[in-house]
Amino acid sequence: MFYRYFILICLATTNLLAKPSEHWTPSVDYKKVIQFAKEGSPYYQGLLAICLRSGEFGSIVNIDLSRQWSEVAYKNAHPFGSYNLANISMLEGDFGKATEYYQDAALLLERKASDGDPISMYCMGEIDFQVIPTNVPRALEWFKKSAELGYSQAQATLGAFYLKGLPGLLEKDSKQGIELLAKAVRNKSLTARYNLGMAYLSGDGVPEDKEKAVQWLRVAEGQNFSEAQFTLGVLLIEGQEGVEKNTNEGLEFLRKAATNKHQLAKQYLEKRLGGDFSKNATRIQGVSQISTSDKETIAKAKKLFTGVGSEKDYSKAFQLFFPLAEGGNPEAARFVGLMKFSGKGTDKNFDEARQWLSVAAQKGDKTAKDLLQKYKTLFE
């Protein structure tokens, strides 16, 4: 009898241990977030929704998918669901609905934040910072606690605040700001990549450097981030000292941002082209296609990649390959995968390398299929 009870206790303990924690820790990467969400954890369903909106942990922004996971978490009564639906409503310009969702989330989020969950702490910081009546001092405390526990978006947000300073609340500290942004970048934070680009653009806390600004903004844009797309679009259309003007590419970035529900991008395009954005979408795409064909762009990128017929420049090659890969070109996707695998021209990332090679392989690129097979053990 004792033996049978002992077995039952062991099984119950095993089940408890197998259940993912409701407190995120830095050991939980994006792969595990997806796994736990699919296994039915409302906490990780909500966190996956947040990642798909914010691009944290190296994820690619996908607002429609973020909304779907938000609704799943919301139906399962987790506050991350309503919190993220609030953020999506803000993005779409529906501030009334956003306020309702924030208020719905706040009570439970505050409880979870007080229990020590760093994601909930960050969410509460955002609510305190931007929902009327605001409580900026408390927001800063939440951001600091979340950053100390390793959450990259909190590190990135706090880093940007230190670079500028908040009069009467947070003394400007460029060294602290850059350290936090660098830490967040290492933790695959999209917010940090974008904030670093904006810091170089304005000279906040770092020497102004438009070339570095564009590089970091392109990295953030590569994760389908609408703010980076909008900023790059305006920079390339209007031109600035240190930024080569490129109207066609700028329009393409603005089109992406507008498609991703960026309200200012829509307004900019409507003002520039006249009429409703949705009616002008095909026209904008046509403008971008005038510049260079995919084949010519790939040929140029290959020259930069190999150094044959041009000076070798991996970074510029990656900048040319990536938009084409994102647009579904299999050869470009294969090169992006290779560069992610080797770390040439971009950060080394085996997970992203596998993803891009898989995209290329699914679209019929035989070389990508062979590479996936060759390096199968590394990708598992």
- What's the pLDDT tens digit per position in 243-255? 888 888 988 999 9
Say yes or no to pLDDT of 9 above 60: no
153 and 131 Cβ atoms separated by less than 8 Å:
no
As a whole number of angstroms, the distance between CA 74 and CA 45 comes to 9
| Residue that the structure tokens 């208020």 belong to | 103
CA angle 159, 160, 166 (to 5 degrees): 105
Say yes or no to pLDDT of 49 above 90: yes
Query: pLDDT at position 380, please?
Result: 55
pLDDT class of 305 with cuts at 50, 70, 90: confident
**Closest alpha carbon to 204 in 163, 232, 166, 242:** 163
Helix (H, G, I), strand (E, B) or coil at 239: coil
CB atoms within 10 A of CB 283: 13
Peptide bond into 133 cis (omega under 30): yes
As a whole number of angstroms, the distance between CA 175 and CA 202 comes to 16
Say yes or no to pLDDT of 290 above 60: no
Query: pLDDT at position 319, please?
Result: 86
Dihedral sign from CA coordinates of 117, 122, 126, 132: positive
- Both tokens assigned to 99: 């306020």
- Both tokens assigned to 111: 């409880």
Query: pLDDT at position 292, please?
Result: 40
pLDDT tens digits for range 139-157: 999 999 999 999 999 999 9
CB atoms within 10 A of CB 17: 7
- Both tokens assigned to 174: 């460029």
pLDDT class of 84 with cuts at 50, 70, 90: very high
As a whole number of angstroms, the distance between CA 182 and CA 160 comes to 11
Encoded amino acid at 164, one letter: K
pLDDT tens digits for range 158-208: 999 999 899 999 999 999 999 999 999 999 999 999 999 999 998 888 899
Neighbouring residues of 362: CB distance < 8 A, sequence distance ≥ 6 = none
Axis-axis angle for helices 247-259, 226-238 (nearest 10): 150
Q: Where are the beta strands (DSSP E) in the chain?
A: none
**3 burial type by CB count under 10 A (0-12 exposed, 13-18 middle, 19+ buried):** exposed
